[in-house]
Structure 1
């Protein structure tokens, strides 16, 4: 009996060793929406507990690249990364919904995209927001929550490859408008991927806010069908929806819902490295945070996949550089946006204005909102609330001051 037990233990040891060897040589990528991380206005109420649980889970998942969503408190995220050790780096998007740069007043309170990565695996990191020159993309990706691109060289088991990770947090909601914005965003993003990224590995990860085999909005076809359907391996722009089987298997990626809305899709070049069957929704985080389903950390589960890195081009590939974001630190004249707007307008003047009156007029010329200010200082980002009850449509914005006047068309 003793020999039998020793034999069993030896088999287990070998199995664990083999699994560890595969983990050490595979590139591991995790995408995770961390619900309103660090926000004082929404998400899990105990922010210190949320932070501690995030550290526990990231250590447990032991990935090389984490693509994260809904990062609000950047200092808390820095503490999380510091807790992981000196071998980890991170980067956070300089944009989010209705916010074009950290100069905007509410950048600190909005949901940002982020990456955390192992510096001994990931090098030559470059990041940027995609499609920022497109007004259509601005609207379709939740009013400026553009896809966040990480381009880097990865080194595993002595083999190096340049890859692109694209982190998205798509427009939420179940209305026909929400569905259309997700669909149109996917169409424009795929056009860019086909044109500029077909010869380099790409993985598209994040909170898609919809299914891949149907729509949560009840409109039948997935808004991502344009990408999912391009699955012919003979095509130059072939895409593999590696999390689609999880939907067919009845999995769920959020607490309390029966759908998979957090996905990972890879292109042809990335598919050559994909370890078949490795895509998974990591509900085993419950072994680290047993009360995770009480939403003390997030309402989303992490999504995981792994890759066997094969030698390839390690030159840094970045699509044509983006234009400067709107409302730069120094502006000429007067800038206001976003356009289309919702219930907040952000503005900046190139010079100091005094005795200011700002107003909105509807399509028939009736004044529907007005605000008076003694001063608008030069080159200081400002914001103002407008009535959320304003119906969708075209509005005329007018600014009167002692120094100058401005008028432009805005759309809600």
Structure 2
């Protein structure tokens, strides 16, 4: 019956699908990650399902962390209608958390829930859901959350059931977990975290992350400190849906083409936020893009200032120099910024062969620096 009703709604949807199609977010060459509290999905049954299918297809993100799935039968219907996506949810115990991901470019290494037993679970009305994925052979770990809501804005550490204290303790537990379990692994902690980033330090539930800025960054901090028109929760208004990254993603996020935004779906609907709130959610999605190099075809040679390279490189990285150099430093990074190779070479001559056999197959970025501090950046494939 759900499938029949869905198709009966298509003529209705066509009245607004043209404007929804103007909405876009995901791009080629970037890993696009979105967090979206979809509020009691589906809050308006088949109508909601139709809206959400068209919205997700327009956003075109690689992976979406979802909160507030009320009906997993409808969520399975959603997956069925999204030809490019697969879905993951743990069980009814996940209490509304789920993921959608493009299965042709993302594979799941592991998926599990955290802090499912007392006393830790007392701080999490919904257990954090971990999705350990490979994206073009790069490992990324996502942790989807929906923290305790509400409170008076004051952190009362002597009250274990104070709403702010529960969110504060949740952040302590998650930071400790990430620090201990994912050294040198890109991690994205995201979700409806139900608090703002701009409280004074003594009441800020995120202060432990904010104080460790060399290892963690809220990519949406400028949204939180900017105009309320960009907030993720317009009804209050407040910005309470966040994306936190670890240091391995700093450079890919800051690269040209990276970025973050609140995806204001309501601006693409004739009825504005009222229509969106009635049929979809009271939260807007927040999305992040991090930049990865395009996949190189076999035999590509990339011209550059003073050096070229043979692609794909195989077990030997061969560099060809078009001028004499006294010294070169060769560094190879994964596409997410992890240094995997470094060598200094004196008087390299006209060509240079370096042993790259220890590198796994995949995409890399080579940065070659000469004695004059000129840099050459080459995208490589093995």
Q: TM-score, normalised by structure 2?
A: 0.63
Matched, 1:306 2:289: yes
8 A Cα contact 1:275 1:306, kept in partner: no
* 1:154/1:288 CA distance change after superposition, 3 Å: farther
Which one of 109, 114, 123 corresponds to residue 130 of structure 1?
A: 114
Q: Deviations over 1:41-73 (max 9, x none)?
A: xxx3x2211111111111111000000000111
Matched, 1:54 2:31: no
Q: Which runs of 5 or more residues in structure 1 are unaligned?
A: 1-19, 39-43, 98-110, 233-237, 316-412
8 A Cα contact 2:266 2:272, kept in partner: no
- Cα shift at 1:96: 3.8
Which one of 71, 86, 100 corresponds to residue 116 of structure 1?
A: 100
State the distance in 2 between where 1:118 and 1:190 align: 28
The corresponding residue for 2:8 is none
The corresponding residue for 2:184 is 199
8 A Cα contact 1:183 1:224, kept in partner: yes
Which one of 25, 31, 41 corresponds to residue 29 of structure 2?
A: 25
Matched, 1:271 2:255: no
The corresponding residue for 1:146 is 127
State the distance in 2 between where 1:56 and 1:259 align: 26
- Cα shift at 1:290: 4.2
* 1:300/1:132 CA distance change after superposition, 3 Å: same
Matched, 1:168 2:149: no
- Cα shift at 1:173: 1.4
State the distance in 2 between where 1:287 and 1:201 align: 33
The corresponding residue for 2:71 is 73
Correspondence 1:354-369 to 2 at 5 A: none
Q: Which runs of 5 or more residues in structure 2 are unaligned?
A: 1-23, 157-161, 293-334, 341-358, 361-382
Q: TM-score, normalised by structure 1?
A: 0.59
Q: Deviations over 1:222-244 (max 9, x none)?
A: 20111122103xxxxx1011111
Q: Deviations over 1:92-151 (max 9, x none)?
A: 132547xxxxxxxxxxxxx41000000111013421002335x23200012xx1111000
Runs of 4+ in 1 over 2 A off after TM superposition: 93-97, 288-294, 311-315
Q: Deviations over 1:355-405 (max 9, x none)?
A: xxxxxxxxxxxxxxxxxxxxxxxxxxxxxxxxxxxxxxxxxxxxxxxxxxx
The corresponding residue for 1:282 is 263
- Cα shift at 1:250: 2.6
Q: Deviations over 1:290-328 (max 9, x none)?
A: 44434121010000001123166999xxxxxxxxxxxxx
State the distance in 1 between where 2:202 and 2:262 align: 24
